[in-house]
């Protein structure tokens, strides 16, 4: 069984778990504590970030490690894509996720952790982040999901980060002039796949019983 090292609240790990769930796959889940990362994970991926997916490949049990959330999603949906998340304009989807990961995440971090970045006010960082939110609002004014009437990899790739932005100050987020984006996020927060992705698991320690994800 593939083994996923994850951290429940990390948006990159959320993205990976959503990809696995939409693919209908089963993995062994190891929930970690970021302040006490297990040696087994660090041996696989010395950079020490989640998610990390470990696969056994071939008769000799060669280990294959995937340590980027987008690659985990692509791997999972490449195995199985019953909901058709890849049946979209992949160029546009990847461009949008690129913008999320490179532009929006930069300002999101500075908005969320404003005390670590005194060179700019929290309001300035919020405004910078809203440039991307405005682009999402324009897309959602046309369709229920970011790239059409159905969920695509763009939605599961971006939603965890919009959620994190909203949770910095929910009152502020829901007062912003982005009604379509706000509805999209609310719908996601109530989506059964997302609720399944956010089930709490105890942190993993050596010797613990195997935890199968998703729970059956």
- In the sheet where 3-6 sits, what is the strand order? 62-66, 52-57, 3-6, 27-31, 212-213
Residue 132 and residue 203 in one domain? no
pLDDT by residue for the chain (216 residues), tens only, comes to: 999 999 999 999 999 999 999 999 999 999 999 999 999 999 999 999 999 999 976 655 567 999 999 999 999 999 999 999 999 999 999 999 999 999 999 999 999 999 999 999 999 999 999 999 999 999 999 999 999 999 999 999 999 999 999 999 999 999 999 999 999 999 999 999 999 999 999 999 999 999 999 988
Q: Specify the CATH number for the domain of residue 114.
A: 1.20.1050.10
Residue 164 and residue 205 in one domain? no
Considering only the C-alpha atoms of the chain, give the largest distance between any 2 of them, rounded to a whole number of Å. 56
How many Cα atoms are found within 13 Å in the side-chain-facing hemisphere of 108? 21
Residue 98 and residue 116 in one domain? yes
Query: CA 170, CA 131: separation in Å to the nearest integer?
Result: 18
Residue 130 and residue 57 in one domain? no
Residue 30 and residue 79 in one domain? yes
User: Three-state SS for 61?
Assistant: coil
Query: CA 131, CA 128: separation in Å to the nearest integer?
Result: 6
Range of the domain at 94: 90-191
Angle between helices 69-79 and 11-23 (to 10 degrees): 0
Residue 58 and residue 15 in one domain? yes
Residue 63 and residue 108 in one domain? no
Q: Specify the CATH number for the domain of residue 54.
A: 3.40.30.10
Residue 200 and residue 127 in one domain? no
Residue 102 and residue 185 in one domain? yes
Residue 168 and residue 183 in one domain? yes
Residue 29 and residue 77 in one domain? yes
Query: CA 128, CA 23: separation in Å to the nearest integer?
Result: 34
Q: Per the structure, how many domains does the chain have?
A: 2
Residue 120 and residue 171 in one domain? yes
Tell me what pLDDT residue 58 has. Answer: 63
């Amino acid at each position: 069984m593939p083994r996923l090292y994850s951290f429940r609240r990390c948006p990159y790990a959320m993205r990976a778990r959503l990809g696995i769930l939409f693919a209908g796959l089963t993995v062994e889940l190891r929930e970690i504590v970021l302040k006490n990362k297990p040696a087994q994970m660090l041996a696989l991926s010395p950079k020490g970030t989640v998610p990390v997916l470990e696969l056994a490949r071939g008769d000799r049990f060669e280990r294959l490690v995937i340590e980027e959330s987008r690659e985990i999603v692509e791997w999972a949906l490449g195995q199985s894509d019953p909901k058709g998340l890849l049946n979209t304009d992949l160029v546009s989807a990847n461009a949008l996720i690129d913008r999320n990961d490179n532009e929006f995440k930069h300002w999101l971090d500075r908005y969320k952790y404003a005390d670590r970045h005194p060179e700019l006010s929290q309001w300035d960082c919020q405004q910078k982040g809203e440039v991307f939110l405005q682009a999402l609002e324009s897309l959602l004014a046309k369709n229920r999901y970011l790239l059409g009437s159905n969920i695509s990899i763009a939605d599961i790739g971006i939603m965890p980060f919009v959620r994190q932005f909203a949770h910095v100050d929910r009152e502020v987020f829901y007062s912003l002039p982005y009604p379509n984006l706000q509805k999209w996020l609310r719908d996601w927060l109530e989506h059964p796949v997302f609720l399944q992705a956010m089930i709490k698991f105890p942190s993993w320690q050596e010797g613990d019983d195997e935890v199968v994800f998703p729970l059956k």
